[in-house]
Amino acid sequence: KQEVTQIPAALSVPEGENLVLNCSFTDSAIYNLQWFRQDPGKGLTSLLLIQSSQREQTSGRLNASLDKSSGRSTLYIAASQPGDSATYLCAVRPWAGNMLTFGGGTRLMVKP
């Protein structure tokens, strides 16, 4: 059974820092990996989707990489801002089936 782990569980940084969030998965037979953002009491907002054939995707200050063979993905946030404060979740989709398996999330706090 696929297991997805996110480390660290919580992170607090000063504004302006570049930071990396980690996501690891046990079964490398994935179709794609998706990063989400969740604000308190809200639903999930899709940030980036990486297909299994891709190595990275970029959107503004966000860059997500995928190393399928080692079962890892990283989300890089450049020049962090207080508005980036939220919980970030990664999820993987298998080749067989349409279900997403989620990590536990990383709760990020960016201090002004």
Partner 1 sequence: DGGITQSPKYLFRKEGQNVTLSCEQNLNHDAMYWYRQDPGQGLRLIYYSQIVNDFQKGDIAEGYSVSREKKESFPLTVTSAQKNPTAFYLCASSGPGQHSVNTEAFFGQGTRLTVV
Q: Kindly list the residues in this chain that would bind partner 1 in the complex (CB under 8 A).
A: 4, 31-32, 34, 36, 41-46, 49, 51, 89, 91, 93, 95, 97-100, 102-105
CB of 18 to partner 1, least distance (A): 26
Q: Are 3 and 26 in contact (CB under 8 A)?
A: yes
DSSP state of 83: G
Q: Which is nearer to partner 1, 16 or 42 (CB)?
A: 42
Query: In the β-sheet with 19-25, what is the strand arrangement from edge to edge?
Result: 4-7, 19-25, 72-77, 62-67, 56-59
Q: Which is nearer to partner 1, 43 or 112 (CB)?
A: 43
Cα–Cα distance measured from residue 111 to residue 55, given in angstroms and rounded to the nearest whole number:
31
CB of 13 to partner 1, least distance (A): 20
CB of 112 to partner 1, least distance (A): 25
